[in-house]
């Protein structure tokens, strides 16, 4: 591949991501919060930024779910997975999945009968990996769907096949009411599994998907604001005294050095 200066710059930013981490230790309550860091913000290339971003989205949508649940006790969350057939062109397969998801929601809006008719709100995210058998690109999406009754998986598979023309593999399962985090985590984990794929695949995903919105929402989940800032929320600790813990990554040692101030 022809080397581009912009790519070199991005590579340097990702490589040095997290070299500086500043924590505040609120010692009167013994709580630690990440206050500052040198982050690359390339969540499709960098596991550290991906996990920070995912946890911010997880918290924002769990908070909204608590508000919805308090107002409407009959709603339950379901985890819906929609997949498209594997293919060798990631951009084409992603566009296909994205378009099919749009059409599924349009059908619900048109009011002519859709499996999603009972769903009053949803949030979903796109995930990309290579199919385990085919080795071809396998984009799919995981969605939290809120409804009184579980959407029918068989009917959804038929509707999905009707929309996509080539894909019928879907999954619908309830999310634990007592511990919704596990189900929500499925939606807000990485868009790519960094450790499961070679770096060239990660770079290909980034170049193909960097300009795309990988989280979508509808109905009562619309308008949730996920903070851009990847630092910890001080959670009302601001007024308490703290000690600053300054960590610097030492490349030659392969570890962090702490300077307390
Ligand atoms: Zn990063």
For 224-236, the DSSP string reads PPPPS--SPP-TT
In DSSP notation, 144-190 reads: EEEESSPPPHHHHHHHHHHHHSS---EEEEEPPSS-THHHHHHHHS-
What range defines the domain where residue 82 resides? 18-227+242-260
Q: From the CA of 72, how far away is ligand 1's center (Å)?
A: 38
Q: From the CA of 20, how far away is ligand 1's center (Å)?
A: 11
Q: Would you say residue 166 lies in a domain?
A: yes
Number of domains present in the structure of the chain: 1
From first to last of its 261 residues, what are the pLDDT tens digits of the chain? 556 778 899 999 999 999 999 999 999 999 999 999 999 999 999 999 999 999 999 999 999 999 999 999 999 999 999 999 999 999 999 999 999 999 999 998 888 889 999 999 999 999 999 998 889 999 999 999 999 999 999 999 999 999 999 999 999 999 998 899 999 999 998 888 888 899 999 999 999 999 999 999 999 999 999 999 999 988 889 899 999 999 999 988 999 999 866
Q: From the CA of 79, how far away is ligand 1's center (Å)?
A: 29
Q: From the CA of 200, how far away is ligand 1's center (Å)?
A: 17
Q: Would you say residue 158 lies in a domain?
A: yes
Q: Would you say residue 12 lies in a domain?
A: no
Q: Would you say residue 140 lies in a domain?
A: yes
Q: Would you say residue 2 lies in a domain?
A: no
Q: Would you say residue 68 lies in a domain?
A: yes
Q: Would you say residue 236 lies in a domain?
A: no
Predicted complex ipTM exceeds 0.95 = yes
Q: How many residues does the chain have?
A: 261
- Residues 62 and 181: beta-carbon distance below 8 Å: yes
How many other CB atoms sit within 10 Å of the CB of residue 27?
A: 12
CA neighbor of 185 nearest in space, from 68, 80, 75, 59: 59
Q: Return the CA Rg of the chain.
A: 21
């Amino acid at each position: 591949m022809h080397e581009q200066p912009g790519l070199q710059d991005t590579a340097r930013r990702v490589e040095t991501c997290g070299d500086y981490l500043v924590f505040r230790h609120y010692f009167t309550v013994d709580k630690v919060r990440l206050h500052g860091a040198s982050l690359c913000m390339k969540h499709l290339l960098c596991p550290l930024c991906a996990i920070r971003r995912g946890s911010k989205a997880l918290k924002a949508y769990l908070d909204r779910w608590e508000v919805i649940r308090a107002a409407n006790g009959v709603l339950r969350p379901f985890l819906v997975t929609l997949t498209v057939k594997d293919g060798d062109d990631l951009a084409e397969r992603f566009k296909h999945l994205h378009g099919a998801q749009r059409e599924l929601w349009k059908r619900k809006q048109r009011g002519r009968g859709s499996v999603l008719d009972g769903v009053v709100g949803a949030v979903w995210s796109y995930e990309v990996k290579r199919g385990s058998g085919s080795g071809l690109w396998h984009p799919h999406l995981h969605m939290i769907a809120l409804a009184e009754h579980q959407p029918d998986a068989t009917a959804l598979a038929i509707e999905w096949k009707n929309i996509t023309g080539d894909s019928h593999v879907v999954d619908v399962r309830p999310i634990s009411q007592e511990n919704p985090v596990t189900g929500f985590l499925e939606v807000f984990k990485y868009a790519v599994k960094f450790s499961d794929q070679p770096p060239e695949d990660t770079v290909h995903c980034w170049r193909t998907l960097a300009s795309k919105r990988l989280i979508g929402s509808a109905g009562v989940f619309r308008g949730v604001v996920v903070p851009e800032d990847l630092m910890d929320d001080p959670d009302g600790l601001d007024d308490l005294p703290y000690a600053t813990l300054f960590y610097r990554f030492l490349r030659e040692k392969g570890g962090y050095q702490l300077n307390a101030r």
